[in-house]
Amino acid sequence: MTVGYDGTRYSGWQVQPNGVTVQAKLEQGLVELTRETVRVTGSGRTDAGVHAIGQVASFSLANWRATDDDLRRALNSKLPPDIAVSRIEDAAEDFHAIRDAVGKRYRYQLQIGGVRDPFEHAFRWHVHAPVDVDAMRAASAHLVGRHDFASFQAAGADRKTTVRHVRAIDITETPTASGGTRSDAADVTSCCQYLTIEIEADGFLYNMVRNIAGTLLEVGRGKRTHEWVADVLAAKDRTVAGPTAPPHGLFLLWVQYPSTSVGVDHSSENRSSNR
């Protein structure tokens, strides 16, 4: 199934003993519908406060006899309004949402300048000072390709390998008058801009996207040169990179499997918001 959710009030994806999670809500809904014990496996564990447009999860049912779409509608009726299943489809018996994934794309969203937007603040990191977007793009170029991303892994995380292939980093900016008190769409220079950083890779380390976003912002703010990012990458040391961006600006866009990209929401590709 392909799932979207606003992660604001959840303690992340994975079931926890002392927190409300997205995985738990999905499993509870399936148990109510089927009276079976169902384990839902997500393509990855999003942290507390992180959102998804195209999270993919696999599960097995023994007794469901109606259609996949009937199951989707029935399950959505059991879910809270900030979680929605957009698609359910039959998969091969040995399909595994984590093991079979060959790529993912994340988006990190920021508001640069202006007054905090009350309709966007849960989905964008509000940065007050202006940033040099071209410098950020130059810095991001150092990260594209197959590299050891140990400098961008969360401190204390333990992975057998920290080598990943970043296929693309796309940074886009949209001037807007909706963020703040101005209503004149023609006058955007004194208001703010929406900035998005999208990163596609064959896999991600824990906090890798948020650490890259925080590092690129150091360049955008003029605190570092774009060449510094190459030095950070070569250091393989988390302490030399920039800060970790807060979780509420991060979205899992889609997950790729050998035959298809699952969870792509084409209707959202040109939006400045993913509410």
Q: What is the four-CA torsion angle of 169, 131, 275, 5, rounded to 10 degrees?
A: 50
Give the rounded distance of the alpha carbon of 156 from its chain centre.
21
Tokens of 60: 């097995």
Number of helices and strands (H, E) in the chain? 5, 11
Distance CA 238, CA 216 (A): 14
- The residue from 47, 132, 148, 265 that is catalytic is 47
Longest C-alpha distance within the chain, in Å?
A: 59
Our answer to whether residue 184 is catalytic in this structure is no
Helix (H) or strand (E) run with residue 136 in it: helix 133-141
Residue 57, phi then psi, degrees to nearest 5: -140, 145
Tokens of 187: 């006058």
Where do the DSSP E strands lie in 32-136? 41-42, 51-58, 83-87, 103-112, 125-127
Tokens of 242: 């920039």
Say how many C-beta atoms besides its own lie within 10 A of residue 108's C-beta.
Answer: 25
Residues with a known catalytic role: 47
